[in-house]
Chain A
Amino acid sequence: MEIHIRTNGSVTIIDLAGNLTIGKSEESLRTIVTQLIAEEKKLLLLNLADVPTIDSSGIGAMIKSFTSVKAVNGKLKVLKPSRMAHQLLTITGLLSVLETFEDEKTAISSF
């Protein structure tokens, strides 16, 4: 899994590439988010455009990230989940909590 960080205004965009599944990838996501929070970056957009598969550990990492950002009055939103990821977020009811966008501009302006 590759992770790239870029900023757009006050929003930090986390570009993920690869599967978000048990092991290194979910750990690195959690580490990055902890690091960003420490750097006072609290408006995060998680870009899932290049993430084909997410498993329960990946979901766990997203939930954990969301919770830690929320705890410091920040926000974490999701961009372009794959069809499979979208379905998973739907079934698990997470869409009601995790705001999801198909378009980066709209996502940025929603913060």
Chain B
Amino acid sequence: MQKSAQLKIMNRFGVTRMLPLSKAVFTIGRKAENDLQLLSDTVSRQHAEIVYENDTYYLVDVGSKRGTYVNDQRVERCALHHQDRLRIGGDDEQQIIFLDDSVENASAIFSSSPNLTLSSPSKDRTPITSANEELQKLARFVEVNQAFKFSMTPDDVLCLIVDAAIEITRAERGFLMLLNAEGNLEFKVARDRNRNWMLGNEFEMSRSVVEESFKQNRSVIINDSKVTMAGLPRDSVRNLDLRSIACIPLRRFQMTENMDATTILKRDVIGVLYVDSNVSGGMLTQTSLKLLESLAFEATKSLESVRLMHEEAEKKNLELELGMAREVQIALSPSAIKAMEHFEVAASSVPSRYVGGDFYDLIPMKDGRFVFALGDVSGKGVAAALLAAMAQGALQVQFASNHSLTEVITSLNKVLAQRSESNRFITLFCAVLDGEGHLTYINAGHNLPILARTTSETETLTTRSVLLGAFDFVEYKPRQTRLNPGDVVVMYTDGVTEAVNSDNEMFGEDRLEELVKRSVSLSAEQIKQRILDEVISFTRGLPQGDDITLIVLKLKS
């Protein structure tokens, strides 16, 4: 038989609760699974334990970050004596006193003596005093919660709500149920007054009360079940041997703007808070009912803010990952091209999101020829970026092993047609330039590149084949043109020509062609920059709708 002892826990507002040490190992930490949960971020998730060995209680630190203290001395393992003060981490919100009941009872005998003013902790429940005082406590209680919410998960909040409800009503058990995605009420928390979790088969409760409260959106109180409540099936209450029940709907308030700009208040019932007791004598006074309702209201509010915060945190994580994905994508694109003997090249890709479906590559072949590839995967975001990376990798490997342009494109198309989702395609312009200025190219469903001659003629590289990934039977045939010194080829994706301004007008191919024609005497880098600048000034601050990618090739004079 374990020696009877308990922890007296008093928060800084003077609210005291008693926790009997009823187990061989009593756990303390920030996680809700602990027998004593402390919601300070200086408390580790699993912080300390009180273990019972050889008739003695020991406080054991289980590898906490901020330490465990007995009477202000840091301890690893320490035998506990009556009236020892425990401090867990830097948590000074609670004062925790160890009480050895055998000593306590002995001293209680003497406590009648006027000289002895031992504050004997009552084993009764905390008395509820005036409503005002309690409401104030509660208000501060909620304030403290708000301060802690950064280290709390929604489950922690729910747990705290139920514990507080039990405390306020002096109930035996408390439950919190929330509406799940299927529209059913689901148990989230089931706790007894010793702050132990109750497992699935341990609790039966009055479903009829819960349903009444939830459906009618009102508090249902059965105070000492001899009182009859109109319209309630009483059997369940009687069968369960329950005396008192309180069930409060949890409402979410939402201000919604109406069509005519008037605001309406929407109230959704999102769950219920339920406490009950089988002790006769009435669990609920008017005061504690009011308290309970305020608690339910505050609870819903803080639950909502915690939920929002967690969503925010998840969003941040996602952004972080996307940021890394972007770095990978940038690293895949050639950053700088060493000066080439007979041509200049400038290229860039600006995704409209973190990562994009556009890609380009500049690949030197072993025989001195040079490959230019520019593609656009249908769709946007990560899925498109993955396929873009795959295509780019395939191009690099195949060209590096000197496969012909036709072979490379045909085999890439086959793989895509057979492997990728049916609505993912790649439009690709791919060209190979040799030392004499012969440009051999395949255009697989991509925008036609612009060729500007020094003779101020412009033309488009007009051949077209089917985009990649549509049909595995397509044969891709190359076409060839001859570039002269000073000629410029601009390869681009539709993010350039389909950039839209505030009048919903597109940048368009004609404008681009005109711009290239005027810029033919500039360097490749200058032409690229000029096009990007023109697109930006055209859209005048409107958000970029699509990835913008460009390769400018210029034969040296």
Contacts and interface: CB of A to CB of B under 8 A. Distances in A.
Interface in B133-168: none
A61 B467 CA distance: 15
Given A26-B423, A60-B423, A60-B425, A93 B467 contact: yes
Given A96-B465, A96-B466, A97-B466, 14 more contacts: A59-B425, A59-B470, A60-B421, A60-B425, A61-B423, A63-B470, A63-B471, A91-B464, A92-B467, A92-B470, A93-B443, A93-B464, A94-B467, A94-B470
Interface in A47-100: 56-57, 59-61, 63-64, 66-67, 90-94, 96-97
A52 to B, nearest CB: 16
A97 B471 contact: yes
A41 B427 CA distance: 32
B450 to A, nearest CB: 15
B423 A22 contact: yes
Contacts of B410: none
Interface in B175-203: none
9 contacts: A56-B379, A59-B425, A60-B421, A61-B423, A64-B422, A91-B445, A91-B446, A91-B464, A97-B466
B444 interface: yes
B256 to A, nearest CB: 27
Closest 6 CB pairs of A and B: A60-B423, A56-B378, A92-B445, A93-B466, A93-B445, A57-B423
Interface in B427-477: 427, 443-447, 464-467, 470-471, 474
Contacts of B446: 91
A60 B422 contact: yes
A92 B427 contact: yes
Contacts of B467: 92-94
Contacts of B464: 90-91, 93, 96
A94 B465 CA distance: 8
A5 to B, nearest CB: 22
A106 B251 CA distance: 65
B381 to A, nearest CB: 13
A91 B447 contact: yes
Contacts of A67: 471
Interface residues of A, number: 18
Interface in A5-56: 22, 26, 56
Of residues A22, A61, A90, A93, which shows the largest number of chain B Cβ atoms within 10 Å of its Cβ?
Answer: A93
A92 to B, nearest CB: 4
Interface residues of B, number: 20
A67 to B, nearest CB: 7
Contacts of A66: 471
Contacts of B379: 56
A105 to B, nearest CB: 28
Contacts of B471: 63, 66-67, 97
A56 B387 CA distance: 15
B422 A94 contact: no
Contacts of A59: 378, 423, 425, 470
Nearest to A58: B423
Nearest to A95: B464
B144 to A, nearest CB: 48
A55 B60 CA distance: 65
A93 B444 contact: yes
Contacts of B427: 91-92
A97 B425 contact: no
Contacts of B425: 56, 59-60, 92
A55 to B, nearest CB: 8
Contacts of B424: 56, 60
Contacts of A60: 378, 421-425
B402 to A, nearest CB: 26
Nearest to B427: A92
B517 to A, nearest CB: 22
Given A22-B423, A60-B422, A67-B471, A93 B378 contact: no
A97 to B, nearest CB: 6
A96 B477 CA distance: 13
Nearest to A56: B378
Given A26-B423, A56-B423, A63-B471, A94 B466 contact: yes
Contacts of A57: 423
Contacts of B474: 97
Given A56-B378, A67-B471, A94 B445 contact: yes
A46 B446 CA distance: 24
Contacts of A93: 443-445, 464-467
Contacts of B447: 91
Nearest to B425: A56
A92 B465 CA distance: 7
Nearest to B476: A93
A13 B421 CA distance: 27
A42 B361 CA distance: 42
A56 to B, nearest CB: 3
Contacts of B378: 56, 59-60
Contacts of A22: 423
A85 to B, nearest CB: 15
Interface in B290-338: none
A29 to B, nearest CB: 12
A45 to B, nearest CB: 19
Nearest to B445: A92
Interface string B408-428: 000000000000011111010
Contacts of A96: 464-466
A90 B464 CA distance: 8
A89 to B, nearest CB: 10
A50 to B, nearest CB: 22
Contacts of B444: 93
A22 B378 CA distance: 12
A64 B417 CA distance: 10
B191 to A, nearest CB: 45
